[in-house]
Every structure is written in C-alpha cells, then in structure tokens.
Amino acid sequence: MEDKRITKRLNLKGVAEKLGVSTATVSNAFNRPDQLSKNLREKILSEASRLGYHGPNLAARSLRRGRSDVIGVMLSDSLTYSFSDPMANQMLQGISEVLMEYNKQLLLFYEGKDNTAQSSAESLPDGFIFYGSSNLETFKRIVALGKPCVTIDYVQDKIPSVGIDDRSAAKKIAMHAISQVNHGTVAILGMKLVVSDRVCRLTQDDLDEKSVEISRQRLLGYFDAVTENDLTIPPESIWSVPFNTEKYAKIAAKEAFSSSLHPNIILCMSDVIALAAISTAQSMGLNVPKDVIIVGFDDISEAKHASPSLTTVCQQNAQKGKVAAKMLLENNLTNCILETKLVVRQSSSPTN
Amino acid sequence: MEDKRITKRLNLKGVAEKLGVSTATVSNAFNRPDQLSKNLREKILSEASRLGYHGPNLAARSLRRGRSDVIGVMLSDSLTYSFSDPMANQMLQGISEVLMEYNKQLLLFYEGKDNTAQSSAESLPDGFIFYGSSNLETFKRIVALGKPCVTIDYVQDKIPSVGIDDRSAAKKIAMHAISQVNHGTVAILGMKLVVSDRVCRLTQDDLDEKSVEISRQRLLGYFDAVTENDLTIPPESIWSVPFNTEKYAKIAAKEAFSSSLHPNIILCMSDVIALAAISTAQSMGLNVPKDVIIVGFDDISEAKHASPSLTTVCQQNAQKGKVAAKMLLENNLTNCILETKLVVRQSSSPTN
DNA sequence: TTGTATGCGTTATCAT
DNA sequence: ATGATAACGCATACAA
C-alpha cells in the first residue's frame, strides 16, 4: 500500500484533475480544437505546459488511435554503414525535409544479425520507406503489416518505388567514356554484383545470373554501350566490391591496374569507388585521365572537388527521399523514375 | 454491429486463442523464457511467426512496461542539415553501432519551427542523447522528463556530456600554423560565433561576450596561441559563418581574401569551412600554402583527399557517439573528454 | 507450468 | 461545451 513512486509522472488525467476539468476536455484541447472554446483551450494548454505536461504519451495515444505519426525508414545495411554512405545521407536529407514539414517523427530500422529483435518496434510506424536492397524476409514481414510502404532503389512487385533508370544512365556514361579514347580496354568496378563479403572478379556464371538489383541494371547499361561500340568485356574484367567504401574499392582498383588487362577505361558503379580508383591509379604512377579514364556514378560532393574532378552520373538522391516521403504521407502510392544527368569533368577528358 | 475491419490485425490474444494457450503464456514466450518449457516456447514462437505475429505491439508493450527500448537523439539543427553534416553523420555512426549491439531503436528528433509538435513523441524513448547546442526550451523540457540524458558537444550543468577540449585543441593548431610563417597575419573563419543567419564580421562587443559554446572555446584557444606569439587579432579579422556549409564559408572566405588585411594564415573552425576557403583562395589566384596557410578543424574524410590536403585537428567523432550511447545504456552517467590530435598536411607546409 | 484479472494513458462515443 | 466510460494490446501479480 505504500507509494512506490514518489513522483508519478504527470499524465492527462492528472492535468485534468489539477485544472478541475474532465480528461476528455484536456484531450480535446490537444487534439480537437473545435470541441471547446478558444479561451479554455489556451488556458488548458498553457497550464498543462506549466505543470510539465507537454502532450499526450505517444505509446498510449498510438495504442488508442492506431496511428503514431512516426515513419519508419529501413536502411539496407547496418546503421553504422549507412551513416557513412553519402548516398544514404542525401536520401535521408530528402526524407527528413518532408517529415519535418508534416510533423512526423523518424524511426530508423536496420538490417542486423537478429532481425527479430526490432520486429516489435515495427508495429509503431504508420508507414515505411525501404532504402536499397533489403533482407527479403524482413521486407516481407513488414509489408505484411499492411501499412503503406515505398521502396527507394529497390524494386519489388506491387510495392511503389522511387528510383532512376540505372541501365540507361550507365549506358550513357559508358558511351561517353568510350568515345574519349581510340582503343578502349574497359574494366568495371561494380558494387555488390555477387553475394560475397570480399572483393572478387566475376565469372561467366555470374554474368548469366538474372537480377533486378540496381547494380545489375548498371552492368547491363555498361554492356549496352560496350556492345554498341563493338567492344567486349570478359567477366575477368569485372570486379565486385562488397561495400561502398574506399577501403574495398582500393583493393579492387589495385587488382585492376596490376592485371595484364591494362585497362584505359574504368567504369565505376559509385563515386566512392571511382575516387578510390583515381587515388590508387595515381599512387601507381598512372595519370588520370591521360593513361586511364575513370568515371563514377552518383555525383557525391567530393566528385567535384577531387583532382582530377570526377566525371559521373548525377542522380537527385535527396529528391528520391523527398518523393518517397511525399508519396507515403500523401497516400499517393505510385512508381516514380527520376531523371539523371551526365556530368563530364576532368577524369574523362584526356585531351585537355 | 457490423464488422468494420474485415481483417483485424493479429494480436497476442489472437495468437493465444489460435494456439489454445493463455495470453500469459504467449507473452512469456516472448519475454520470459524461463517461465515455460523450451519446447512450448519454441512452438509458440514459430507458430506465431507463421501466423504473422512477430512480436508484441510496441505501443502497448511500452505503455505497460514503461520502457520502449527506443533511444531518442536530438539533433541541434534541422534533420536536413544534420544529415548533410559529416560531423553529425560520424557521430550517428558511433551511436548506432552501440544501439545495434544493445538491440535498441533510434528515434530522431530535431529542432523545428514548431517544437511542441514532437513533444508527444518525447514520451517514448527511454533516454536521450543531445548533439550540439540545443534549443534551451526543448532541452529543459526533455530533461524534465527525468529520463537519462547525455549531451555531446554541448555542456549543461548537471548533465553528463561527451566532448573534447576545444580550447586546447584550437590553441594547438593555431600554434602550429603561426610557427610556419615568419610574419603571421591571422584571420579566423569561425562558426556560429554570433546569433545571425548571415555571414558577418565580429565587433569588439562580440568578443566580450561570454559563452560556453564550443565555437567560443575554439576562439579562446586561437587567442591563446596568438597572444603567446605576440600577435593580435582585431575583431574585424574574425568572421562568423552561420552554417557549416560550403556556400556560407565561401562568402566569408571571399571577404577575408578581398579585405585589406591580406591574411597569410586562416584558422577555420571546421574542415568544411577550410576546404571552401582553399577553393576560394585558389580561384582568386592565391597559392595554398605558399601565399596563405589554411587549417581546419574536425578531420572529415575530404580533408585528406583535398588538394592541397588539409591540416586539421582530428577529433574522434564517431567515438563521441559511441561513448555517449554506452553511457546511456550502461547507466554510467559521467563526463568524458576525448583526445584530439593535430594532423599536419600540405595546407600548412609552405616550405615543401 | 499455466490461466485470470487488472491497469498502463489515451481517445472516441455517447449522453448530458 | 463537457463528462463518464469502454477499448486499444500487453505484462505482470496472483491464483490455480
């Protein structure tokens, strides 16, 4: 019978008691301004705030309303990796811009060892945005919740998605690169082309694999350009970088430059990879772009500042997040393909 | 009397009914493995999952338990800005690494026009991490909730904080810069030194202002070094950049280089500012470091790749987030000052 | 080991 | 305009 909690946290009921009104009235003050006089409402709000009550408890409120005003974003890798990835950051910028506008909160989810641990939290958000290729099990589990979902850079049947035309963008930049030299010997530094945690070259079997992953689309785009120029790329000229980081990219780049292929065109599936390739080339005594042309994909901010500056494909990454969030919040669930732009800079201009 | 929801979402009770056990047993299967046989538990978990029930509803569970396993992170600016800031990202990397380990979820808060809109959500997290100088009202409101709080790069009485010794780090790099030239004429490109949304120079009054903001500490550190070298910096040689972005930094840098001061040492309070200053100097025909030495603060990844590479202060930013999160989750609330390191690169080495 | 009952804080319905 | 009350889904004390 003792009072366990000396100071029990103030709740809506407590506020109602202290102000001598009913709980319904306080609730209405917060949620339905039209249900009470303006005077009373303002008095309640200011008094409540003075008492230290700043709004209904989220857990209770969303339990009751079946809505939390929280949006979940599922990042396709660990949070730690995602925050280090410029692309993910730009995308999150776009999402958050819209969420701020709509007064929604952002709950971040991630792929982890134990993906059941967070499944409890999956019940909270009113909707989800998936960024990148998610774990299929997790993806299905969340979609099965029946809440609105949008994917970014990840295509799944019946789920609205936001992305770019990776194949044609890849073709575009490859065409440009090939046009810059007389005799092109092409190598590709791709991203996550095969399932492995290590840098590795592809084999013929890998090429035959069908997949809708964006990396595959980019690969097809490169092939389109190569074929159109009567060139070929054997699988040994294609590297798969497991993570979009400088470290892994350098390993791949070093292998490419040390190989007997002597490529003079390196098509990279990300700017991070391309920048690492430039730096690797330079440290091996190669001149970019005179000895080797290197192009990227994404147009991250470093691309412009690098030396030589990087030729790449500009994709409106923040816009992706913005569009996805808007689709979710305005319940306008449809597919959206954003435009890309070829940005020619020094790394592909040997004649200057 | 009609059935409004054709398919009511499955809940714990529903699972219990379908499996022919009590709700308590299902609950125990998820929360207290020791309360039932291993066999039964596994059967319940797998059956539940098969039925599409993947864990207790977060709202209901945290309402009941008074705990959500969600950690709130308050970013000192808009989310959009924070995600564009390399420092904030590194810090978030550190936080998320620990949260993943402890199976916690991350709910992001931000300073916005209407900071009451998210106050409802503030009731959910079990604890908060504040990054950077928060709005004092919001800060106090959250602290008043009585939940564990930790600040990063923000010092407030009685709240445990994680940071660096900004003053001595600033002094260290300033001493180095000054030692590199014969006759130093110093200009400072500071960050948020005064309350303004525009780039502006300081006045004597601004200098007299006391403040614990980290920018002020860095300023004091610069002064320490200047004084020790029998130099002076008039307030007109100090610029305040309102946001840590290239755009604003370039405006300030241009003013600094165009002024009659002709500074040959530029002390920048961030790498973003310093890199913008380098690029501005170069576009104005100045050679860095021969004509002017430029140093930064932070050691973001671009610092190493810039040309010339940037001399700066390396602060373990991810570590800050890691430490703060650990303090929160291990309930080990204390203060922590992390080490910094001077990183000398080309931008301050005119003799090479 | 399992089942029953209560309340967590809120909101919406309904009556006043 | 306001007040009483049931229900949201769950976890725990307690009884069996």
Tens digit of each residue's pLDDT (9 = 90 or more) over B255-307: 999 999 999 999 999 999 999 999 999 999 999 999 999 999 999 988 998 88
Q: Looking at residue A114, what is its pLDDT?
A: 65
- CA of B183 vs C1' of D6, distance in Å? 81
Which of B85, B100, B245 is most worth mutating to test chain A (most A CB atoms within 10 A of its CB)?
Answer: B100
Q: For B3, left (φ over 0), alpha (ψ -120 to 50), or beta?
A: beta
Q: Which nucleotide is nearest to A36 (CA to C1')?
A: D1
Within chain A, strands assigned E span: 70-75, 105-110, 127-131, 149-152, 161-164, 186-191, 200-201, 238-241, 265-268, 293-295, 312-315, 336-338, 340-343
What dihedral do alpha carbons B79, B209, B293, A307 form, nearest 10°? Answer: 10
Question: 3-class DSSP state for residue B191?
Answer: strand
Closest CB from B90, B103, B118 relative to A105: B118
Q: Looking at residue A189, what is its pLDDT?
A: 98
Q: Which nucleotide is nearest to B32 (CA to C1')?
A: D11
Cβ atoms of residues A123 and A145 within 8 Å: yes
| Across A55-65, average pLDDT | 94
CA atoms of B191 and A109, how far apart (whole Å): 33
Domains B70-163 and B166-315+338-348 share a fold: yes
- CA of A168 vs C1' of C16, distance in Å? 68
CA atoms of B114 and B94, how far apart (whole Å): 29
- CA of A333 vs C1' of C8, distance in Å? 36
Reading the block at residue B10, the tokens are: 């499955």
Which chain B residue shows the shortest CA-CA distance from A140? B52
Closest CB from A107, A112, A307 relative to B107: A107
Could you tell me the CA-to-CA distances from A257 to A193, A237, A275, A291, B62 in Å, in that order?
A: 20, 11, 14, 11, 56
Closest CB from B63, B83, B279 relative to A89: B83
Task: Protein contacts on strand C: list nucleotides below 7 Å from a Cβ.
Answer: 1-5, 7-13
CB atoms A55 and B279 under 8 Å: no
CB atoms B121 and A105 under 8 Å: yes
Q: Which nucleotide is nearest to A65 (CA to C1')?
A: C11
Q: Measure A308 CA to nearest chain B CA, in Å.
A: 10
Q: Is the model's pLDDT at B151 over the cut of 70?
A: yes
CATH superfamily of B166-315+338-348: Response regulator (3.40.50.2300)
- Residues near strand C (C-beta below 7 A) are A 8-9, 11-13, 23-24, 27, 30-32, 56-57, 60-61, 63-65; B 20-25, 28, 35-37, 40, 60, 63-64, 66
CB atoms B120 and A93 under 8 Å: no
From the centroid of its chain, how far is CA B24? 42
pLDDT digits (tens, 9 = 90+) for A212-245: 689 999 999 999 999 999 999 999 999 999 988 9
Q: Which residue has the higher pLDDT, A175 or A35?
A: A175
CA atoms of A291 and A251, how far apart (whole Å): 20
pLDDT tier, B80 (very low <50, low <70, confident <90, very high otherwise): low
Which of A62, A75, A309 is most worth mutating to test chain B (most B CB atoms within 10 A of its CB)?
Answer: A62
Q: Which nucleotide is nearest to A32 (CA to C1')?
A: C11
Please provide the size of chain A in residues. 352
Q: Which residue has the higher pLDDT, A78 or B168?
A: B168
**B69, B146, B123: which is closest to A5 by C-alpha?**
B146
Reading the block at residue B215, the tokens are: 């920018």
- CA of B350 vs C1' of C13, distance in Å? 78
pLDDT tier, A1 (very low <50, low <70, confident <90, very high otherwise): very low
What dihedral do alpha carbons A122, A125, A126, A127 form, nearest 10°? Answer: -70
Segment (H or E) for A25: helix A23-31
> How many contacts, defined by CB atoms under 8 Å, are there between A and B?
168
- CA of B24 vs C1' of C9, distance in Å? 22
| Across A117-146, average pLDDT | 91
Mean of pLDDT over chain A = 91
Q: Is the model's pLDDT at A2 over the cut of 90?
A: no
Cβ atoms of residues A193 and A219 within 8 Å: yes
Cβ atoms of residues A294 and A278 within 8 Å: yes
Q: Is the model's pLDDT at A352 over the cut of 80?
A: no
Q: In this complex, which residue's CA is closest to the C1' atom of nucleotide D3?
A: A22
Which chain A residue shows the shortest CA-CA distance from B86? A84
Domain boundaries, chain A: 12-56, 70-163, 166-315+338-348
pLDDT tier, B8 (very low <50, low <70, confident <90, very high otherwise): low
Predicted structure pTM score: 0.89
Q: Looking at residue B84, what is its pLDDT?
A: 77
Q: Which of A96-110, B41-55, B224-238 has the highest mean pLDDT?
A: B224-238
**A248, A224, A253, A215: which is closest to A237 by C-alpha?**
A253
Q: Is the model's pLDDT at A271 over the cut of 80?
A: yes
| Across A126-144, average pLDDT | 91
Closest CB from A9, A105, A301 relative to B107: A105
Closest CB from B89, B119, B246 relative to A89: B89
Q: Is the model's pLDDT at B210 over the cut of 90?
A: no
Question: 3-class DSSP state for residue A291?
Answer: coil
Q: Is the model's pLDDT at B93 over the cut of 80?
A: yes
Instruction: Give buried/exposed letters for B57-69 (b at 16+ CB in 10 A, else e).
Output: bbbbbbbeeeebb
Closest CB from A56, A84, A93 relative to B80: A93
CATH classification number, B12-56, choose in 1.10.260.40, 3.40.50.720, 1.10.1740.10, 3.30.420.10: 1.10.260.40
Q: Is the model's pLDDT at A211 over the cut of 90?
A: no
Which chain B residue shows the shortest CA-CA distance from A9? B145
Q: Looking at residue A195, what is its pLDDT?
A: 86
Q: Measure A322 CA to nearest chain B CA, in Å.
A: 11
Residue labelled with tokens 């039209």: A34
Q: Going by CATH, does the domain composed of B70-163 fall within 3.40.630.40?
A: no
Task: Protein contacts on strand D: list nucleotides below 7 Å from a Cβ.
Answer: 1-5, 7-13
Q: Which residue has the higher pLDDT, B37 or A293?
A: A293
Which chain B residue shows the shortest CA-CA distance from A46? B116
Q: Looking at residue A82, what is its pLDDT?
A: 75
pLDDT tier, B82 (very low <50, low <70, confident <90, very high otherwise): confident
Reading the block at residue B94, the tokens are: 């550190």
CB atoms A54 and B116 under 8 Å: yes
Tell me if the bond preceding B289 is cis, omega within 30° of 0.
yes
Share of chain B above pLDDT 90, in %: 74
